[in-house]
Chain A
Amino acid sequence: DQQVKQNSPSLSVQEGRISILNCDYTNSMFDYFLWYKKYPAEGPTFLISISSIKDKNEDGRFTVFLNKSAKHLSLHIVPSQPGDSAVYFCAASAGGPMLTFGGGTRLMVKP
């Protein structure tokens, strides 16, 4: 049973518009959340994170929102650029070295 789920396998967005990627989790012990970005034939790279004591974290065009009561987080990319086309993984931590990843969402930003 997956504890971190990304229910949209793919998302297509026009360049310049907002991309919203969603992630749901079931484990109440998760208190730190991360987003990783992955290009083909490369390993994932860290994008942005948020602690459960916050409900929003922003870094340039990327913002992550956390709704603890709904066990839901989302990644907003504004404005979207063609170079943002990649697979995005949501991950969660309950402490210690282990991360639990979602299945990923493939984002395609069309020029």
Chain B
Amino acid sequence: NAGVTQTPKFRVLKTGQSMTLLCAQDMNHEYMYWYRQDPGMGLRLIHYSVGEGTTAKGEVPDGYNVSRLKKQNFLLGLESAAPSQTSVYFCASSLLAGRADTQYFGPGTRLTVL
């Protein structure tokens, strides 16, 4: 089992460019999440999904879109990147929601927007 994988590991964008971050999990988990980590701020939830074909907003959704077309994949899109989106992005998945289960995290994607 690879667990949770993220592609790419690093990316540098110019302001206004778009990109998609891919998250894949092979644990047959229903729930998937996208977080961003900024210094001193911990991890903040951007969007999450409770199953294939569903998405929901988290704490900081503005400027991001997501899609969950397949159960094992969760895509995070930036349509027009801004320097404020420079961050480390983590994807996570869990079999059940919240306290009922543990979230498993991917290794992260470091994104820099110039």
Contacts and interface: CB of A to CB of B under 8 A. Distances in A.
Contacts of B48: 97-98
B107 A99 contact: no
B18 interface: no
Interface residues of A, number: 27
Contacts, number: 65
Chain A interface, DSSP helix/strand/loop, else mixed: loop
B34 interface: no
B103 interface: yes
Contacts of A89: 42-43
Contacts of A31: 99
Of B45, B94, B98, B106, the most chain A CB neighbours within 10 A belong to: B98
Contacts of B103: 46, 99
Q: Which 10 A-B pairs have the closest CB atoms?
A: A43-B105, A101-B42, A32-B99, A97-B97, A101-B43, A46-B102, A103-B42, A103-B40, A93-B99, A93-B98
A86 B101 CA distance: 23
A9 interface: yes
B92 A32 contact: no
A89 B105 CA distance: 13
A70 interface: no
